[in-house]
Structure 1
């Protein structure tokens, strides 16, 4: 169970955490339903199925990056997704990232994106370069486990000490950002996929929401509606609720999953108002 120093955090500008349930696009729904149908008889999800659902919920092209896709799709079907590689609109989470980057850059805010798997990191770097013309190592920075410690340190320094607004986004592997890493240069944080251990999510959030942060931090936890991700989200909430009671030694009411009636985050409100395709199925704010 993670414990945070309350007095230090209360002195920070503040934090708003939103869980956004996103409706997959038609192409994603077709892919996700195929995977679900193929595994419905087993009663449980294999690790390869978990990976496929996770990456397909970001963007359909990503199924090409895992060998296990050949178990559920024909070579022709896998080849077919090539046509969508540069089209961010066919992936609900990919589209959210692009829209968020556009509005955050306009506001002079930097974005931190966490992803558990490596393939979406490389994909997003290429997608962002195609859409915005931003370059890896300049406007776009990457932090992942296979980097040497001096390289990681250089990436963090570039991101946190940028006073000219050159750095726009840092895409990081969740497993590469352990306790002690500070990424306070970001005021917008996106969790592309969820962890089984809720403390891992809190640890990721604490990379930006920590002493040294000068802005209000906005966190977006993205969940693909109607998929296994919803079940994972519910289990994580229950784990967090039980851990809270153990830590404090008293009972707390079960947290409700109610949609927000008013969005305090001006940027997120803009995205919701502009959501003509109704991709935002529901937005829940964490207390």
Structure 2
């Protein structure tokens, strides 16, 4: 989870011995700065370029907190809003079908869908995306293949 951005380390549960050497102010400061870390700089720039080309991006991650951090960075950097240009799908979302329909609709304003790998399992078609980004590597490669297959359908 912390490989995406070091500020996510603050959200981890630490033992007392581990807490003392951590300089929390140094980790909090770059939280919303997408340029502070290569992964988030790449993702924000990639999404911006794809949006300029009128393409939609689908971003998968195992954990939800990195996705929330990226949403915050996109809002700040690109001045986008959630449920307008940014969609977020995780297990507790009630209206997945509606969200999927809006994302797949060619004329929608949606630019990016950030989704939990578990929430977007088999049976979900996200063919509105022309690009798929996997932020975390799964131990099971078939989970990654299923995630990619949400957007890319043979035939």
Provide the TM-score with structure 2 as the length reference: 0.92
Matches of 2:128 and 2:61 in 1, distance apart?
18
Higher relative contact order (CA 8 A, sep 6+): 1
Matches of 1:123 and 1:146 in 2, distance apart?
18
Kindly indicate whether residue 104 of structure 2 is the aligned counterpart of residue 160 of structure 1: yes
Gaps of 5+ in 2: none
> By percentage of residues, which structure has more helix?
1
Query: Which of the residues 151, 162, 172 maps onto 2:115?
Result: 172
CA RMSD, Structure 1 to Structure 2 (Å) = 1.8
Runs of 4+ in 1 over 4 A off after TM superposition: none
Matches of 1:101 and 1:69 in 2, distance apart?
37
Provide the TM-score with structure 1 as the length reference: 0.51
Equivalent residue for 1:190? 133
Number of aligned pairs?
155
Query: Aligned in 2, Cα 1:180/1:83: closer, same or farther, shift over 3 Å?
Result: same
Kindly indicate whether residue 37 of structure 2 is the aligned counterpart of residue 98 of structure 1: no
Q: How does 1:207-246 map to 2 (within 5 A)?
A: 207-210=150-153
* Shift, 1:76, TM fit: 5.2
* Shift, 1:106, TM fit: 0.9
* Shift, 1:121, TM fit: 1.3
- Aligned partner of residue 138 in structure 2, secondary structure: coil
Matches of 1:89 and 1:196 in 2, distance apart?
28
* Shift, 1:56, TM fit: 2.3
* Shift, 1:93, TM fit: 1.2
| Structure whose alpha-carbon radius of gyration is higher | 1
